[in-house]
Amino acid sequence: MNSVTAIRGELLAAVRAHALRRPAAIALEGPQSALSYRELERAIGDLGAELRRHGSRRVALLADNGMAWALAELACLDAGLLCVPLPSFFSPGQIVHALRSAGIDTLLVDPRLSLPSPLFDAPSVPLDALPVLAGVLHRVRLPTPPAITGLHAGTCKITFTSGTTGEPKGVCLGIEEQQSVAAALLGASGADEDARHLCVLPLSTLLENIGGLYAPLLAGATTCVWPLADVGLSGASALNVHKLLEAIITARASSVILVPQMLLALVSAIEAGAPRPVSLRFIAVGGASVSPALLQRAIALGLPVFEGYGLSECASVVALNRADAQRPDTVGKPLPHVQISIAGDGEILVTGSSFRGYVGEAPRDRGQAVATGDIGYLDSDGFLHITGRKKNIFVTSFGRNVSPDWVERELCLHPAIAQAAVFGEAAPFNVAVIVARAPGIDAAIAAVNRELPDYARIRKWIAASAPFTPANDQGTANSRLRRAQIRAAYASQIESLYQDPPRSIQGSEAAPA
In this predicted structure, what is the pLDDT of residue 124?
A: 44
Final residue of a domain: which of 338, 356, 388? 388
At 139, the amino acid letter reads: R
Q: Are residues 197 and 341 located together in one domain of the fold? A: yes
Q: At which of 326, 360, 388 does a domain end?
A: 388
Pairing of β 138-141 and β 125-126: antiparallel
> In this structure, are residues 67 and 28 in contact, taking their beta carbons and an 8 Å threshold?
yes
In a domain, residue 416? The reply is yes
**What pLDDT, on a 0 to 100 scale, did the predictor assign at position 493?**
95
Mean pLDDT for 27-43 is: 95
If asked whether residues 67 and 157 sit together in one domain, one would say yes
Listed range (47-51, 399-403, 441-445) with the worst mean pLDDT: 399-403
Mean pLDDT, the chain, integer: 87
* Amino acid in the structure at residue 510: A
- pLDDT at residue 128, as a whole number: 40
3-class secondary structure per residue, 197-220: EECCCCCCCHHHHHHHHHHHHHHC
Can you give the pLDDT at residue 218? 96
Q: How far is CA 422 from CA 208, 244, 430, 435, in A?
A: 28, 30, 7, 12
When pLDDT is cut at 50, 70 and 90, the band that residue 289 belongs to is: confident
| CATH of residue 428 | 3.30.300.30
Question: Does 108 lie in the same domain as 21?
Answer: yes
The CATH number that applies at residue 244 is 3.40.50.12780
Rounded CA-CA distance 357/364 in Å is 5
Q: What is the pLDDT of residues 314-356, one digit of tens each?
A: 999 999 999 999 998 899 999 999 999 999 989 999 999 899 9
d(Cα 229, Cα 200) in Å, to the nearest integer? Answer: 9
What burial letters (b/e) apply to 372-400, b meaning 16+ CB within 10 Å?
A: bebbbebeeeebbebeebeeebbbbbbbb
Residues 311, 442 within the same domain: no
The pLDDT score that the predictor gives to residue 116 is 60
Q: 298 pLDDT exceeds 90?
A: yes
Band of pLDDT at residue 387, cut at 50, 70 and 90: confident
Q: What is the mean pLDDT of residues 65-88?
A: 94
Question: What is the percentage of the chain residues whose pLDDT exceeds 90?
Answer: 63
The region of weakest confidence among 124-128, 162-166, 227-231, 438-442 is 124-128
Q: Are residues 320 and 366 in the same domain?
A: yes
- CA–CA–CA angle 293, 298, 303 (5° rounding): 155
pLDDT at 360 over 80: yes
Decide: residue 272, CB within 10 A, 0-12 exposed, 13-18 middle, 19+ buried: exposed
* pLDDT tens digits along 404-430: 888 998 898 888 998 999 999 999 999
* 216 φ, ψ (degrees, to nearest 5): -60, -35
In 326-449 the beta strands, taken as DSSP E runs, fall at 333-334, 339-342, 347-351, 357-358, 370-378, 384-389, 394-395, 401-402, 417-423, 430-436
| Contacts of residue 46, Cβ cutoff 8 Å, sequence gap at least 6 | 129, 130
Q: Cα–Cα distance between 319 and 177 in angstroms, integer?
A: 15
Mean pLDDT computed over 436-452: 93
Show the domain range for 14.
3-388
Q: Are residues 95 and 192 in the same domain?
A: yes
Indicate whether 143 belongs to any domain: yes
Q: What is the pLDDT of residue 54?
A: 86
Could you say which of 388, 422, 446 is where a domain stops? Answer: 388
Instruction: Let me know whether 35 and 101 are in one domain.
Output: yes
> What pLDDT is recorded for position 145?
58
Q: How many residues does the chain have?
A: 513
d(CA 211, CA 196): 12
Residue 142 has pLDDT above 90, yes or no: no
Same domain, 299 and 427: no
pLDDT for 236 equals 60
Question: Do 118 and 247 belong to one domain?
Answer: yes
Higher-pLDDT residue of 339, 118: 339
Task: Say yes or no to pLDDT of 237 above 70.
Answer: no
Question: What is the DSSP secondary structure assignment for residue 418, as one 8-state letter?
Answer: E
Residues 290 and 412 in one domain: no
Count of structural domains, the chain: 2
pTM of the model: 0.81
